[in-house]
Structure 1
Amino acid sequence: MLTKTVKYLLLALGLLTTATGAISDPLSVQLNELARTPDKNKQEQIIHEILKKNPSPDTIITLLKNFNFKKPEKIGIIIQENLCIDGIKRPFCWYVPQNYDPSYRTPLLVYLHGLVNRKNIIEDIESYVSESEFIEIAEEYGYILLFPFGQSGATWWDSVGISNVLQQIRLTKQYFNIDDNRVFMAGFSDGASGAFLFAMNYPTDFAGFIPLNGHPGVASIDGGMHTYFTNLFNRPLYVINTDEDRLYPSKEITPMIELAQRADADILYKIYSGIGHSFDYAHEELPFIAKFIETHPRVLPSVIKWESADPGLGCMWFSIDSITYSDRAEWHQDYNMKLVDARVMFGFIPDETYEGMGVRVEQVVGDSTLCAILGIREGDIFVKLGDNRVIDLDDVNQYKESKECGDSAHIIILREGKESTLQGVFPGPTIYDLFRREKLSARAEVYYRCNTFSIRASRLGAFTIYIHPEMVKLDQNIVIELNGKKVFDKNVPASPEFILHNFLENRDHELLYVNEISVILQ
């Protein structure tokens, strides 16, 4: 819900512009205009005008690396909107610390909230953000915080929600002087599960990930995404779970983390005892989270390990573009596991805006949950469970804790002002895979040294390598070897046009690739 105050903030934010260093330089002026112009046709016109000047790649890179940013007219909480790919505008929020200095590169921490399948966006965004524990380290260490807001149809693991988050990061980089090598993602509950997904499928923008009380398989189980522990080799993760968490207890998550570590995942794992599904350990943990952020900048890696069933996904300078139907290589191990879900679940999302007695249903989840089986609907209010009246959600959770799978349930609901009695049985345990495996995947382990890229691959049909000037000597041929055979040996010149288009796509002032090599094997 956007108030008049929020609309004012949006107007004020429109005054935030970027400017390159030597504003009197015509090329600087054009690059500045290019960076601020959202219109695709206008962007192409500006690029055409820039290229007519025949600037060197080094000149373009230097100017793009040294943008100057104006001081924002407002700090603290700033609410914005982003037009998502489904045509719906959704809000997001920045928190800008008091000591923000636009002349210095500033770390960015993206925080994903929990309960992302809710019907409606969190209503009071300003109150929600003002209560965030992460404001403490934002002020102490000078971080900018980005709060995306999700909902059913725009979750952390569907195309709308994923693109929304990535677009917001790019918008943030247009308005603030962000350190591209210190962009981190944290999240709690569903937000943590979303952070696992971004770490496995979309790591390039980030230096590291901080999943708190999450589950690495949710994006696959609930979102249908194909995810792979192999990809956690490429980014450090600081993972925390708690032993009394009713959703994701550490005893269930620990075997998954151990499996990920066997796949060479870069994970620091901590468990807090005596804490449930809450961030009650925040005060103790925030200094360690800040230390993780301070000590883990993104670097240009000489090794990438990547697996994907979805063409086009990749990490940094490597992407898998097609997958073959051949048998996978002997070394191509699938790091997956069978899980047993013995949780007692009603299967509904509560309406957080409801202030009356009982618990009102905002949305029924799943087809085989107790609520779905009993025909519970949106708007129904739980007023009694067993022999006890329901005052709030704590009463629902207490009732669940007294039950096991297969136990009977006696429920009284209020529907359209009339009480109805429902009786059923909590569904039994289910066995499922941690990760979906409905599609074939390709895997590649890519190493570069001097001007040679060596790839060990399985089921790889096509790939792209993006060339960064710090990786190779551009005056020499670049060689690519795949499974011991040379598949590419050519000189690859730096392309000013490629640099500009790539910058517009990613808004990254550090990963300024100068060209790409695409190889189709079959």
Structure 2
Amino acid sequence: MKHYLVLSLILAGFVVHAQKNYSALVLKASEIMENTKDGAEYRKALNLYEQAFTLYPDSIASTDLYNASVVASEVKDYDKAFQYLNPLVKIKADEEHAPGWSYIEGESSESDYKNLLSDRRWKILKQSTAKEKKEFYQTLSENREEFFRKKEVQFGHKQAPKALYAQIKNNQPFLPKAMRNYSVSFKVNDSATTSYLVHLPKNYQPQKKYALLFFLHGAVRYSRLADYQIPQEAPGGWNRYYTKYADLQEVILVFPQGSKTYNWMTSDNGFFMVPEILKQIKTAINIDDNKVFISGHSNGATGSFSYLMKQPSPFAGFYGFNTHPKVFTGGTFIENIKNRSFINFSTDQDYYYPPDANDDMTRLMKEIQADYRDYRFKGFPHWFPMFSESEPAYPVIFSDMENRKRNPFPGKISWEFDDDRYGSIDWLSDIKLDTLQFQAAWQKNLNFRITKWLKYDEKDSLIVEKTDKNAFDFPRKSGKIKAEYTQNTFRIETSRVASFSINISPEMIDPGQRVKVFINGKLYFNRKIKYDRELMLENFEKNRDRERIWINRIHFKV
């Protein structure tokens, strides 16, 4: 029940002026519910809900009907409880409301309505919700089918390789979309399903390529997978400014839903989700492959930073509000940032990561000449995006997105990793570790010490606590590879690497000339590159990337 009460409080802050009096009444009622268990006080809350519903019948929200029915059940006014439950069940999901049946079928419903379970009307109500629930999921399924509907495209397996390359690159099977917001179910594994919400520009045109921004939510330890999302829950509330500026610049927004077990920070079980969701979306809508970005808040910002450190290849840039810049599932190889960029928005009253540590991080980024910026906002706590004063941060993000593009074939790459699952970066792939090898002198761990941390004491006052710990952990041995190419010549240096592959694009080399590959100063390869039709099709099926199409792959053992 507390989840919905908190949601009611948050939503109340964003109602339009015409609903001010209604909001004041239901806000007061919900505050009473949250802060007391006294029967007389519950009766006061119920009276406030009744007053609000009577005076402002056009403003009644599903959350308020739910709260009123719960408080009526608590004071054992069963007639009133069902008076509010019956219309609640019939509320359809829309841009602002969860479906009414979800309040009765939710995980906390039996505790919320414990006094009603023996009432015959509860059984009738449950039968009604079963029908509404079935219709809701049928509509979700139909919307998902419409979202993924596209033109059928057949790639010519017998056509000339260069013609196939051009066909893949110019592939545009996309169709118009009937809606702006799609809640899409996503299979995590055989026993778990979640969802992501896609928010499209107002006048989405399937023939036009669009930038895309993922937003990763925080509080992953307290989150649950969700079969569906309603638009108000993701593009609204704390994320309202993402939606405002995305709509202005015609950027597609995507909001995945993670959980304690499956997320982008504390567990590798869910780290695959964002790249896989991106692949799915690319089959349905026209995405500019060189303009895909990730942002987030708190745990979500740490997730954004983690993709930068571990799996940046599909993305152009990374952002975070109140970030803890650290990989929690392995080593934090900070020089990996030099393959991309990161913009952080920090506050001076953040218990999640101290301002002094952010300053040290900025100094380290300058030392290694990384594309990194930190914007400090003073006088704000960890939940900075909640405040209207956070709005100036968003034009910074969207201006950067407008001017930034991924280079799909960078001339130089430096990559360090300690898990073979993340042994790929741009045109290098399948890099395998050999930690028994000698570590090269140029492979060094960068770190700094954190000596102060902010925390809340028992009086909810922010205090400074002394600490002494490294900013980054290195629980496993790692390998590193440095690579560059120019004029058909590749030069590779390795440290603790057993093998790797170089992926070749005709935009990187002249296929009419020999390609030379030097590894640790020794010539390993000196031949012309031919087009591999099956590799082109396999790679496109794997990544749906029209800007990075490999025509061949050369594998090396070091």
- Using the size of structure 2 for normalisation, the TM-score is 0.70
Residues 1:7 and 1:73: Cα distance change in structure 2 (over 3 Å): farther
Instruction: Report the more deviating stretch, 103-112 or 239-248.
Output: 239-248
- 1:408-487 alignment runs, 5 A limit: 431-487=468-524
Residues 1:403 and 1:68: Cα distance change in structure 2 (over 3 Å): closer
Q: Conserved in 1, the CA contact under 8 Å of 2:411 and 2:485?
A: yes
Aligned with residue 333 of structure 2, among 223, 228, 242? 228
Letter in 1 for 2:291: R
Q: Report whether the alignment pairs 1:295 with 2:400.
A: no
Residues 1:124 and 1:459: Cα distance change in structure 2 (over 3 Å): closer
Task: Quote how far apart the aligned CAs of 1:307 are.
Answer: 0.8
Q: Report whether the alignment pairs 1:150 with 2:274.
A: no
- 1:97-136 alignment runs, 5 A limit: 97-121=201-225, 125-131=230-236, 132=239, 133-136=241-244
Partner of 1:321: 432
Residues 1:102 and 1:124: Cα distance change in structure 2 (over 3 Å): closer
Report % sequence identity: 27
Task: Quote how far apart the aligned CAs of 1:450 are.
Answer: 0.9
What are the superposed Cα offsets for residues 490-509 of structure 1, whole Å, 9 maximum, x if unpaired? 22211010000011111111
Give the SS at the match of 1:487: strand
Unpaired runs of 5+ residues, structure 2, are 1-97, 103-132
Task: Quote how far apart the aligned CAs of 1:459 are.
Answer: 2.1
CA-atom RMSD in angstroms: 2.4
Aligned-partner Cα distance in 2 for 1:488–1:506 = 27
Q: Report whether the alignment pairs 1:336 with 2:447.
A: yes
Aligned-partner Cα distance in 2 for 1:288–1:6 = 39
Q: Report whether the alignment pairs 1:14 with 2:145.
A: yes
- 1:18-33 alignment runs, 5 A limit: 29-31=153-155
- Using the size of structure 1 for normalisation, the TM-score is 0.75
Letter in 1 for 2:481: A
Letter in 2 for 1:57: P
Aligned-partner Cα distance in 1 for 2:148–2:348 = 47
Partner of 1:393: none
Partner of 1:284: 392
Aligned-partner Cα distance in 2 for 1:264–1:87 = 45
Q: Report whether the alignment pairs 1:399 with 2:459.
A: yes
Task: Quote how far apart the aligned CAs of 1:402 are.
Answer: 5.9
Structure 1 or 2: more helix by fraction: 2
What are the superposed Cα offsets for residues 63-113 of structure 1, whole Å, 9 maximum, x if unpaired? 222223444443322101111136311111101121211110011101101
Instruction: Report the more deviating stretch, 185-194 or 119-128.
Output: 119-128
Structure 1 or 2: more strand by fraction: 1
Task: Quote how far apart the aligned CAs of 1:239 are.
Answer: 1.6
Aligned-partner Cα distance in 2 for 1:261–1:518 = 35
What are the superposed Cα offsets for residues 85-143 of structure 1, whole Å, 9 maximum, x if unpaired? 36311111101121211110011101101111115246864322131221112211111
Aligned-partner Cα distance in 1 for 2:341–2:455 = 33
Q: Report whether the alignment pairs 1:140 with 2:140.
A: no
Task: Quote how far apart the aligned CAs of 1:17 are.
Answer: 5.0
Task: Quote how far apart the aligned CAs of 1:298 are.
Answer: 0.7
Relative contact order higher in (CA < 8 Å, ≥ 6 apart): 1
Task: Quote how far apart the aligned CAs of 1:253 are.
Answer: 1.9
Task: Quote how far apart the aligned CAs of 1:291 are.
Answer: 0.8
Partner of 2:547: 510
What are the superposed Cα offsets for residues 53-72 of structure 1, whole Å, 9 maximum, x if unpaired? x2222222222222234444
What are the superposed Cα offsets for residues 224-260 of structure 1, whole Å, 9 maximum, x if unpaired? 2223111100012122211122222322222123223
Aligned with residue 237 of structure 1, among 333, 342, 347? 342
Q: Report whether the alignment pairs 1:171 with 2:295.
A: no
Task: Quote how far apart the aligned CAs of 1:164 are.
Answer: 1.4
Aligned-partner Cα distance in 1 for 2:201–2:418 = 40
Partner of 1:498: 535
Letter in 2 for 1:339: I
Aligned-partner Cα distance in 2 for 1:344–1:285 = 25
Residues 1:194 and 1:487: Cα distance change in structure 2 (over 3 Å): same
Residues 1:170 and 1:332: Cα distance change in structure 2 (over 3 Å): same
Q: Conserved in 2, the CA contact under 8 Å of 1:117 and 1:150?
A: no
Higher gyration radius (CA): 2
Give the SS at the match of 1:505: helix
Give the SS at the match of 2:146: coil
Instruction: Report the more deviating stretch, 484-493 or 467-476.
Output: 484-493
Instruction: Report the more deviating stretch, 194-203 or 155-164.
Output: 155-164
State the aligned residue count: 416
Following TM superposition, the consecutive aligned residue runs of length 4 or more in structure 1 with deviations greater than 6 angstroms are none
Give the SS at the match of 2:517: strand
